[in-house]
């Protein structure tokens, strides 16, 4: 006497469920395949771009090398240019340092003119670079000298000009005289001052 017992009879999924599982697996594999295709495409596109840019860089390097560096390597050319630029910067800093120490004669003259009374003007500038001495004349029509022009007051006004006194050590009247310029009688005052710093 024998018995046959089917122990998995009720454990086998139904057909509908097996179909659903199979379809899920197919969809999963399809999704994975799409992701892999996209990744492969992105990586390949990246390599293509890298190759393109590398080719462009090589072309530009060759063009710059032939046009500007007489066939030298662009990196050597860049290094040489950096050295040249550093030299230019040093030269400009040196020039700037020298110019800062030099007297600005235009500004000095402007400060001298600013204190002149109405009707007066300056003439006959003389600059001795060896002794750093500046001489000049202030000319005023003779009819105005008694009421307007006073050499002492003019010197005081110059000495009170801080910007002017940065460039000169002292200023003084060296000569005064009356004379005619053409048909006009004028009063001429000669002044001199010592420059206080720097070169000319």
* 154-198 residue pLDDT tens: 888 888 888 888 888 888 888 888 888 777 788 888 999 888 765
Count, residues in the chain: 200
Would you state the pLDDT for residue 144?
56
User: Is residue 77 over pLDDT 80?
Assistant: no
Would you state the pLDDT for residue 1?
55
Distance between CA atoms of 180 and 174, rounded to whole angstroms?
19
- Average predicted confidence (pLDDT) for the chain: 79
Token duo for residue 56: 């462009």
At which of 100, 120, 155 does a domain end?
Answer: 100
**Terminal-residue alpha carbon distance, the chain:** 135
Q: Are residues 179 and 145 in the same domain?
A: yes
Domain span at residue 75 reads 69-100
186 lies in some domain = yes
Q: Are residues 94 and 113 in the same domain?
A: no
Task: Dump pLDDT digits (tens) for 33-73.
Answer: 888 888 888 888 888 888 888 888 888 777 777 766 666 66
Domain count, the chain: 2
User: Is residue 132 over pLDDT 60?
Assistant: yes
34 lies in some domain = no
């Amino acid at each position: 006497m024998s018995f046959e017992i089917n122990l998995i009879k009720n454990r086998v999924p139904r057909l509908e469920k097996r179909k659903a599982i199979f379809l899920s697996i197919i969809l999963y594999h399809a999704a994975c395949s799409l992701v892999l295709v996209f990744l492969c495409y992105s990586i390949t596109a990246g390599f293509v771009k890298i190759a393109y840019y590398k080719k462009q860089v090589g072309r530009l390097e060759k063009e710059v090398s032939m046009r500007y560096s007489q066939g030298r390597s662009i990196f050597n050319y860049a290094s040489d240019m950096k050295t040249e630029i550093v030299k230019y910067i040093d030269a400009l800093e040196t020039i700037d340092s020298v110019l800062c120490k030099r007297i600005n004669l235009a500004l000095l003259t402007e400060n001298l003119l600013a204190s002149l009374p109405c009707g007066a003007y300056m003439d006959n500038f003389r600059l001795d670079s060896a002794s750093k001495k500046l001489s000049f004349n202030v000319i005023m029509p003779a009819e105005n000298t008694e009421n307007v022009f006073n050499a002492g007051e003019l010197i005081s006004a110059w000495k009170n000009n801080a910007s002017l006194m940065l460039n000169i050590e002292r200023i003084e009247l060296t000569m005064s005289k009356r004379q005619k310029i053409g048909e006009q009688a004028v009063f001429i005052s000669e002044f001199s001052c010592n420059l206080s710093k720097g070169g000319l």
